[in-house]
Amino acid sequence: MLFGAFNVNNMEIIQAIVDAAGEEHSPVILQASSSAIKYARVGYLKKMVEAALEEHDILIALHLDHGPDFETCKMCVDNGFSSVMIDASKYDFEENVALTKQVVDYAHSKGVVVEAELGTLAGVEDEVNVAEDDARYTNPRQAKEFVERTGCDSLAIAIGTSHGAYKFKGEAKLRFDILEKVKELIPNTPIVLHGASTVIPELVELCNQYGGNIPGAKGVPDEILREASLRGVSKINVDTDLRLAMTGAIRKVLTEDPSVFDPRKYMTPARDLIKKTVQHKIRDVFGSSNMA
């Protein structure tokens, strides 16, 4: 089973995602980065997710994305998050093991599961800058040792994706050979794919058509994500596509009618387009829809 994990920053994004998942009867993971938590504030995020749970009869998890340190992970565990990610991938192997284990010990004592990361995604992660030429793929043997030593519940691996709108210079390609080896060595550990937005061309075009400047953006095509799913990836992270949908929709309204200044006039189409984008992923790419 593959779960879509969608990044949230505000009410409209949360509503769009859970409305899409609700219509598809699909479980869904809402995830907030530490900067999203700084922006929206943890109490608001919690209450909005509670409101979503009251409205929808589906499984909705609230997950910390790219937790940068123990304190942030602890704060989320203490605030009732379903799961946390500790991203110590910028540290060396031993430091990554030590910090991940510290988070696992605390989170497990409170019944919360932990995602960790091994290997570095090229590009920009949440407050983690990695030069492209430092990019390194996950080593499958290290992945096995890492999971055994930390007791983490799921593992994000680096097989060629990266965050943001510029993932590939040439052809989009992932190292499925590494994924295969990882699955062989740790078959019971759910594998997470970060940086998995498609960078949907129509959404990039919508932004650019209405004054945006996002030339040459490129992501992971749907067919490659379907293959990742078939090859055993369990969680696919999406943020950039939602950002593009929201921005494109807002740009369109404000460009077409510069007299608009009621936020609902542009936030409503923005929410609708995020919903459509999420629904497409759940139904046509991730296969987590439970609609007949």
φ and ψ at residue 136, rounded to 5 degrees: -140, 140
| Partner that binds at residue 281, options Zn ion, ligand G3H, ligand 13P, none, CB closer than 5 to 8 Å by kind | none
The answer to whether the beta carbons of residues 76 and 67 sit under 8 Å apart is yes
Which one of residues 19, 115, 117, 239 is an interface residue with ligand G3H (CB under 6 A)?
Answer: 239
Reduce the DSSP state of residue 165 to 3 states and report it: coil
Residue 164 binding ligand 13P, by CB under 6 A: yes
| Partner that binds at residue 12, options ligand G3H, ligand 13P, Zn ion, none, CB closer than 5 to 8 Å by kind | none
- The closest of 1, 76, 15, 60 to 242, measured between CA atoms, is 15
The yes-or-no answer on residue 65 being catalytic is yes
Residue 163 binding ligand G3H, by CB under 6 A: yes
Single out the segment in contact with ligand G3H by CB under 6 A; choices: 30-38, 95-103, 176-184, 284-292.
30-38
Q: Which helix (H) or strand (E) holds 38?
A: helix 34-40
d(Cα 258, Cα 73) in Å, to the nearest integer? Answer: 43
Residue 235 binding ligand 13P, by CB under 6 A: no
d(Cα 37, Cα 66) in Å, to the nearest integer? Answer: 11
Q: Which of 65, 87, 239, 241 is catalytic?
A: 65
Site for ligand G3H in 217-236 (CB under 6 A): none
d(Cα 253, Cα 274) in Å, to the nearest integer? Answer: 15
How many binding residues for ligand 13P (CB under 6 A)? 13
The CB-of-87 to ligand G3H minimum distance in angstroms stands at 9
Residue 15 binding ligand 13P, by CB under 6 A: no
The CB-of-25 to ligand G3H minimum distance in angstroms stands at 26
Single out the segment in contact with ligand G3H by CB under 6 A; choices: 32-40, 103-111, 177-185, 228-236.
32-40
Residue 194 binding Zn ion, by CB under 5 A: yes
The answer to whether the beta carbons of residues 232 and 193 sit under 8 Å apart is no
Q: Decide: residue 153, CB within 10 A, 0-12 exposed, 13-18 middle, 19+ buried.
A: middle
Residue 255, sorted as left (phi over 0), alpha (psi -120 to 50) or beta, turns out to be alpha
Alpha-carbon 216 to chain mean position = 22
Which one of residues 2, 5, 7, 118 is an interface residue with ligand G3H (CB under 6 A)?
Answer: 7
The answer to whether the beta carbons of residues 193 and 2 sit under 8 Å apart is no
Which one of residues 237, 247, 277, 279 is an interface residue with ligand 13P (CB under 6 A)?
Answer: 237
d(Cα 245, Cα 273) in Å, to the nearest integer? Answer: 6
Site string for ligand G3H, 34-73 (x = CB under 6 A): -xx----------------------------xx-------
Residue 241 binding ligand G3H, by CB under 6 A: no
Closest CB to ligand G3H among 72 and 279? 72
Residue 167 binding Zn ion, by CB under 5 A: no
Question: Which residues are within 8 A (CB) of 153 and not within 5 positions of it... i.e. 6 or more apart?
Answer: 83, 104, 113, 114, 115, 189, 190
Query: What is the binding site for ligand G3H (CB under 6 A)?
Result: 7, 33, 35-36, 65-66, 125-126, 163, 239
Residue positions annotated with a catalytic role: 65
